[in-house]
Amino acid sequence: MADRLVFVYKSRNKQGRYLYLKEKDVFAHIPAGLLDAFGVPEFVMMFALSKHKSLPKVKVEDLEEALATKGYFLRIDLEDVEENLINQERKYRGLDPLSKEELSDLFK
């Protein structure tokens, strides 16, 4: 079985936004609204998925499933306090912040 290559692009508009594709420079299957919000993708790297049992900030199983079903995977890093509007609002309301896992569950 051949290695599945994954092509990673970063957003020029938003820090911490990454698009993982199963084909290099093929954006036709990505929803127009998502691509408009993402902005012009900037190629970052490619890697063989089979060579990685774990990836930073991405569950390999989620990435494999998204690439197989949709052809792309969108990663949004919520670690930047300014970008994490959910926890900013929770703090304003006197609530405890959500963990990374809880935030991730909101977007499944």
- Which CATH number does the domain 5-77 belong to among 3.40.50.1820, 1.25.50.10, 3.30.390.10, 3.10.510.20? 3.10.510.20
26 Cβ neighbours under 8 A, 6+ residues apart: 71
Condensed to tens digits (0 to 9), the pLDDT of residues 6-26 reads 999 999 988 889 999 999 999
Number of helical (H) and strand (E) elements in the chain, helices listed first? 4, 4
The residue extents of the domains of the chain are 5-77, 80-108
Please say whether the beta carbons of 8 and 18 come within 8 A.
yes
So what's the pLDDT on residue 47? 93
Condensed to tens digits (0 to 9), the pLDDT of residues 83-102 reads 578 888 888 899 988 887 78
The mean per-residue pLDDT over the stretch 67-72 comes to 94
So what's the pLDDT on residue 1? 41
pTM of the predicted model, to two decimals?
0.71
